[in-house]
Amino acid sequence: QDVSACLITKTDTNPFFVKMKEGAEAKAAELGVTLKSYAGKVDGDHESQVAAVEACVADGAKGILIAASDTKAIVDSVKAARDAGVLVIALDTPLDPIDSADATFATDNFKAGLLIGQWAKASLGDAAATAKIAMLDLSISQPSVDVLRDQGFLTGMGIDTVDINKWGDETDPRIVGNEVTAGNEEGGLKAMEALLAKDPEINVVYTINEPSAAGAYEALKAAGKESGVLIVSVDGGCPGVADVKDGVIGATSQQYPLLMASLGVEAIAKFAADGTKPAPTEGKDFFDTGVALITDKPAEGVESIDTAKGLELCWG
């Protein structure tokens, strides 16, 4: 009998979610599930996601996989969907409260940031105390992934985050400035140029994702500063890992969107077949698909894998 499922991602221009969709589609084809995908239009767009949930319910979907743009704001419509008998699985980001969804297959974005922060701190050694840090964030609307990665990084660096629910309020003099990048090369480049004009001595660059890291690198290269600067990032896409290998990026935290997606599709297929709901990872209230730090220059005290392994695991 015909099982239909929905995948709702934050946007469908970010390669992370594009690949998540591809993974889900592959799995769905394998299991004979009809998958329809939806997405928000801009970063932080939960309204399109609400509309998508409503459409899925109207369409009689068995399950919904959702990577929520606003983890609190989506809760009501998720509840409505569950009331209508649809299995809702949060992907990538847990909802708030986390039990709003039937299950969560997520990655820990805070931890992803934390890892690169710790790595940067360890790599710098004593210089960490006098580092000059550029923060290349996502967007001024500060969606949760943006905040978690940023604040995780700062925590890993040992910098006071002031309000952990917000980036940009830090007062540590090591931070040269925050700029938004929209998570693409263009934004990364322009933001880096501006921060370099502000302080040419920058030697650590945090980036929200790998495309913005690539852009930041171009700006550093143009300024002739590419060699002395540590760039750290999050995502673990294949081009990103290749950039780590080429020395463009120092370290990146790899996440596993394909895994989340295929696990999600499997769970829905199972639910449709016998009504069982997936269980969370032991000791956590969600199923953690894991984060791994990828670097070819491992730092003491921070667990990491090298780029060869990273390229095996990367998601597109």
Partner 1 sequence: MASEAKAATSYEDGLKGASDKVAEFHEDTSALKKLQHWLHKTPSAVPLIVLVAALIIFGVVAENFFKAGTLSVILQQIAIVGILGCAQTIVILTAGIDLSVGAIAVFSSVLMGQMTFRYGIPAPASIAIGLALGTAMGAVNGWLIAKMKLPPFIVTLGTWQILLASNFIYSANETIRSSDIEKSAPALRFWGNDVVFFADEAVKNSGVKILYAVFLMIVLVAIMAYVLRSTAWGRYVYATGDDPQAAELAGVPTGKVLIQVYALAGLFCAIAGWVMIGRFGSVSPTASTGQLGNIQSITAVVIGGISLFGGRGSIVGMFFGALIVGVFEMGLRLVGTDPQWTFFLIGALIIFAVAVDQWIRKVAG
Could you say which residues in the range 218-247 bind partner 1, by CB under 8 A? 218, 221-225, 239, 242-243, 246
CA distance 214 to 210: 6
Q: How far is 59 from 154, CA to CA, in rounded Å? A: 44
Q: How many residues bind partner 1 (CB under 8 A)?
A: 83
In sign, the C-alpha dihedral spanning 293, 38, 141, 93 is negative
Instruction: Rule CB under 8 A: choose which of 31, 66, 90, 182 binds partner 1.
Output: 182
- Contact segment (CB under 8 A) with partner 1 among 186-194, 267-275, 278-286, 307-315 equals 186-194
Q: Is 83 in the site for partner 1 (CB under 8 A)?
A: yes
Question: Please, what is the minimum distance in Å from the beta carbon of residue 165 to partner 1?
Answer: 7
Cα dihedral 14→18→19→20 (10° resolution)? 100
Nearest alpha carbon to residue 68 among 36, 42, 40: 40
Question: What residue spans of 67-224 are helical by DSSP H?
Answer: 75-83, 109-124, 144-157, 185-198, 210-222
The region of 118-126, 210-218, 279-287, 303-311 touching partner 1 under the rule CB under 8 A is 210-218
The whole-angstrom separation of Cα 259 and Cα 144 is 21
The nearest distance, CB 261 to partner 1, in angstroms, is 15
Q: Which is nearer to partner 1, 235 or 288 (by Cβ)?
A: 235
Any contact of residue 117 with partner 1 (CB under 8 A)?
no
Our CB check for partner 1 shows the closer of 108 and 193 to be: 193
102 binds partner 1 (CB under 8 A): no
